Amino acid sequence: MDQTKIAVDIFNKLATVYQDKFMDVSLYYDSLDVFCQSIPKQNAEILELACGPGNITKYLLEKRPDFKILGTDLAPKMIELAQINNPTAKFQLLDCRDVNKINAKFDAIVCGFGLPYLSKEDAIQFITDAGNQLNSNGVLYISTMEDDNSKSGFKTGSTGDKMYQNFHQADYLTKALEDNGFKIINLQRKNYFYNEQDTTDLIIIATK
């Protein structure tokens, strides 16, 4: 069973529903502000992975109109919405596991809630690959649902669709960051009610 294909199909089908539910990213303003403040360079090149309908992109451009953002996602419908919501940014289809196939380096990389769709091994590899795509002093922003990784599995959403979701732990994510030469500058947790249950969102910002 191809978990990635299932996720892409569901996100394509529910792109507008997802947009209506998650376009408001005010819960994460504080961490996104830290991210913006960590990039003093003007006209910085930013790569966003798993951009969805461009909700994070929209806030970043409101705070920093100078950012040059390339947003990527695996769901074509999400890319369409992201481009409509952010006409000044660029978007393209890309699996975040293929970040090292982009022939460019960036001043910062954002992956907001892309990790729940990556296994533990893929998440650790992603941190290595993202580090290789960053310029010196580059910034990495990642967020995920935090819980014991063994609790990962197929979850049924409010629409009745089943999708595999990976929970990740701060211990192995922070170790992977440190092993790849990152310095963690911000780590926070937020309580969030998702899928009719309380979850903990983990947000980590690190510099290379």
Please give the Cα distance from 59 to 61 (Å, whole number). Answer: 5
Give a three-class secondary structure readout of the chain.
Answer: CCHHHHHHHHHHHCHHHHHHHHCCCHHHHHHHHHHHHCCCCCCCEEEEECCCCCHHHHHHHHHCCCCEEEEEECCHHHHHHHHHHCCCCEEEECCHHHHHHCCCCEEEEEEECCHHHCCHHHHHHHHHHHHHCEEEEEEEEEEEEECCHHHCEEEECCCCCEEEECCECHHHHHHHHHHCCCEEEEEEEEEEEECCEEEEEEEEEEEC
According to the model, what pLDDT value does residue 131 have?
97
On the CB side of 197, CA atoms within 13 Å amount to 8
State how many domains the chain has. 1
CATH number at residue 76: 3.40.50.150
Best CA proximity match to 195, nearest among 120, 87, 116:
116
Best CA proximity match to 165, nearest among 151, 186, 177:
151
According to the model, what pLDDT value does residue 195 have?
61
pLDDT above 70 covers a percentage of the chain that reads 98
Task: Show the tokens assigned to 95.
Answer: 């699996």
4-30 pLDDT, tens digit per residue, is: 888 878 888 878 988 998 899 999 999
153-187 pLDDT, tens digit per residue, is: 998 877 788 989 999 999 999 999 999 999 999 99
Is the pTM value of this prediction over 0.85?
A: yes
Mean pLDDT by runs of 10 across the 208 residues of the chain is 81 86 94 98 98 97 98 96 97 96 97 97 98 97 97 86 94 98 98 78 97
CA distances from 81 to 85, 184, 188 (A): 6, 32, 29
On the CB side of 145, CA atoms within 13 Å amount to 21
Q: Which domain holds residue 192?
A: 3-207
According to the model, what pLDDT value does residue 1 have?
59
Residue with tokens 């590899």: 125
In one letter, which amino acid is 155? K
